[in-house]
Amino acid sequence: MTTFIDPYSSSRETTEGTVFSVTGGDWNELVTEIGATKEERIVVNMGPQHPSTHGVLRLVLELEGETVTEVRCGIGYLHTGIEKNIEYRSWTQGVTFVTRMDYLSPLFNETAYCLATEKLLGITNDVPERASAIRVLMMELNRISSHMVALGTGALELGAITPMFFAFRERERVLDIFEMISGLRMNMAYIRPGGVQQDLPAGATQKIRETVKEMRKAFKDNATLLIGNSIWMKRTEGIGYLDLAGCTTLGITGPVLRSTGLPWDLRKTQPYCGYENYDFDVVTTDTCDVYGRFLIRMNELEQSLRIIEQACDKIDKLAGAPVMVADKKIAWPAQLALGGDGLGNSLDHIREIMGTSMESLIHHFKLVTEGFRVPAGQVYAAVESPRGELGAHIVSDGGTRPYRMHFREPSFNNLQSTSAMCEGSMVADIIGAVASIDPVMGGVDR
């Protein structure tokens, strides 16, 4: 026992045993002190401020020596109340909120929300083909940028820094495309109920095709670095084991489920946005471990590139076609021209409502202030996000705002498997197992 209070490393007695607070300082002193207690079982609080926990995840570990006997997750540190806030916004404004949930896959959040809203409106089949193709294009680009973070940070957490440089270099290319198309790199609120916010800029598909070629070459950097690398294999093979029975009972979807050999991918099994018209393969492995999930993500990159190329062809073929439903009540505020003040505006529309038609003015006012109404009912729409099934359960009471919106977040659900994957393993393998789940705390806590 130390006799003075060290603000960076102190201990105190509680009914549960000695509690050591460690925030830095002299580790040798701490290790000596813990060694003197003759207690084999220690409880370690890892996070919520820990670089290896993907944001603010807190893990409470019970250790016997270096073996983990119990893991419990503490979440909620990034709870933002998006589901509550959205009940006070119009249906269109909702997109701006959901895009901020899982911040690494914003376009999937938007698509799930919009598909559900369109189902409620009964306009699922009215969404133009070009809009669906653009959605697919954006989602697959987003899948690449999301997998890049999963791979890069996963490798970094296991001690390999170079893969992260390569991964973030490729992610940058995708974010540049997002910026070119929507004006924003993240949280773009680009996909709207009824279609997408605006058409692709001129030359976009050409630029994307070039980027795809470059990425296809550049992905090899990480593949040569990691696939078959003996250090990487030792840290990932047989780690974080979760078999098919475990996955189904825990409701696990996405790469973790596919690492058990089950080719379950909503893009194939329950297609949306016209995925049935694209030629791609569902990637699986049968190892049920971290290495298998890593391989799935690596190989899904190539499948995404294939889909992107096909989507570009489709978009080029549909040049000039609309990207929003024809119903002007829903399409607002999609069709704007650049006004003299540099902001989006429609001078023709202003001329009509201010000069010629009182009726148009009334409609304009009502649509702008309260938005469109959505018939009462409830729906559930799911998409295959990079992390698994992302479902949106939306209830409408017939008003201009969602009555209740709940996102079934794959990160939230899959994080439950941490205990099943890690208990009985070494403490260092927790990092690899959690990284293979790829939880994004913005999605977990919403």
Partner 1 sequence: MSDHGMFGAAGTGDTSGYGGLVRTPAATGSSERPYGSYFDDVADDLERAYPGFSDAIERVVVDRGELTLHVKREKLVEVSKILRDSLKFEMCMGVSGVHYPEQTGRELHAVYPLLSITNNRRIRLEVSVPDNDAHIPSVVEVWAGNNWHERETFDMFGIIFDGHPGLTRILMPDDWQGHPQRKDYALGGISVEYKGATIPAPDERRSYR
Footprint of partner 1 (CB under 8 A): 75-76, 79, 81, 83-85, 87-88, 119-120, 122, 248-253, 262, 264, 269-270, 362-363, 365-366, 369-370, 373, 375-380, 382, 389, 391, 393, 395, 397-401, 403-404, 406, 408, 412-413, 415-416, 445-446
Secondary structure of residue 442 in the 3-state scheme: helix
Instruction: Output the smallest distance, CB 270 to partner 1, in A.
Output: 7
**Closest CB to partner 1 among 72 and 234?**
72
Q: Which residues contact 419 (CB under 8 A, 6 or more apart)?
A: 70, 71, 72, 73
Per DSSP, 427 falls in state: T
According to DSSP, the β-strands at 41-46 and 17-22 are unpaired
Q: How far apart are CA 201 and CA 193, in angstroms?
A: 20
Instruction: Output the smallest distance, CB 315 to partner 1, in A.
Output: 28
Query: Contact 248/276 with Cβ under 8 angstroms?
Result: no
Query: Contact 187/145 with Cβ under 8 angstroms?
Result: no
**Closest CB to partner 1 among 306 and 406?**
406
Q: How far apart are the first and last CA of the chain?
A: 43
**Closest CB to partner 1 among 74 and 322?**
74
Instruction: Measure Cα distances from 442 to 60, 104, 196, 435 in Å.
Output: 20, 9, 24, 15
Instruction: Output the smallest distance, CB 103 to partner 1, in A.
Output: 17
Instruction: Output the smallest distance, CB 366 to partner 1, in A.
Output: 4
Instruction: Output the smallest distance, CB 24 to partner 1, in A.
Output: 26
Q: How far apart are CA 82 and CA 280, in angstroms?
A: 34
Here the tokens at position 13 are 């007695």
Which residue in this structure is represented by tokens 């540099």?
A: 342
Instruction: Output the smallest distance, CB 222 to partner 1, in A.
Output: 31
Instruction: Output the smallest distance, CB 404 to partner 1, in A.
Output: 5
Rounded (5°) CA angle 78-79-80: 105
Per DSSP, 355 falls in state: I
Here the tokens at position 101 are 């949930």
**Closest CB to partner 1 among 3 and 369?**
369
**Closest CB to partner 1 among 34 and 395?**
395
Instruction: Output the smallest distance, CB 426 to partner 1, in A.
Output: 25
Q: How far apart are CA 158 and CA 182, in angstroms?
A: 35
Query: Contact 439/421 with Cβ under 8 angstroms?
Result: no
**Closest CB to partner 1 among 163 and 391?**
391
**Closest CB to partner 1 among 32 and 85?**
85
**Closest CB to partner 1 among 272 and 294?**
272
Angle between helices 290-317 and 429-437 (to 10 degrees): 20
Query: Contact 323/134 with Cβ under 8 angstroms?
Result: yes
Instruction: Output the smallest distance, CB 203 to partner 1, in A.
Output: 39
Query: Contact 223/217 with Cβ under 8 angstroms?
Result: no
**Closest CB to partner 1 among 79 and 207?**
79
